[in-house]
Structure 1
């Protein structure tokens, strides 16, 4: 499945083609996963990122322009559809948003 991977705050979003099984997702985010449904995508991150004091990666802003969450540690952006693969339009949009 095509996803956007963002390793850290100072890194650019990178498109990756992954299998998307649980072990791979956990490996990419460095631990147990948490899924945050955000607009038309799902953000996969380390569920203990804040507790483990991983470095902040990206701010998540809600539709009213308020801070919703802070992602700490590596993150993936996937589609909310069953196979999780992003469309080309989603890739363009979310690479821009998270750049």
Structure 2
């Protein structure tokens, strides 16, 4: 599955991971959580305990007005959404979210 890995203090990079829970957990941590903050068919797969286990703060999520409403801690993935599960990102979505998360905060 083609996804973007976003690590603290680094630019996002495209990676290939196997489908399934284990690969997601290996990328972000055992307690995975998916959020859907964008209109595109993408999810952010994060470590649900990242803010509580001392993970480094990574990127802010903002409203359309630029106001911060949440901060992701630790590594996270940007994944596509299929009909029933997570899926590979298209070239267009890879480019869009590399740009969106391109500047480490």
Query: What TM-score do the two structures reach when normalised by structure 1?
Result: 0.91
1:10-49 to structure 2, matched below 5 A, reads 10-39=9-38, 40=40, 41-49=42-50
Aligned to 1:78: 79
Cα RMSD, aligned residues only: 1.2
Equivalent-residue separation in structure 2 for 1:20 and 1:68 (angstroms): 30
Shift of 1:83: 4.2
Structure 1 residue 96, shift from structure 2 partner: 0.5
Q: What residue ranges of structure 1 are gaps of 5+ in the alignment?
A: none
**Secondary structure in 2 matching 1:93:** helix
Given the superposition, is the C-alpha separation of residues 13 and 21 from structure 1 closer, same or farther in structure 2, using an over 3 Å criterion? same
Alpha-carbon distance in 1 for matches of 2:51, 2:45: 14
Equivalent residues in 2 for 1:80-95, closer than 5 Å: 80-81=81-82, 82-95=85-98
Do the aligned residues in 2 keep the contact of 1:37 with 1:80 (CA within 8 Å)? no
Gaps of 5+ in 2: none
| Count of equivalent residues | 98
**Runs of 4 or more above 4 Å deviation:** none
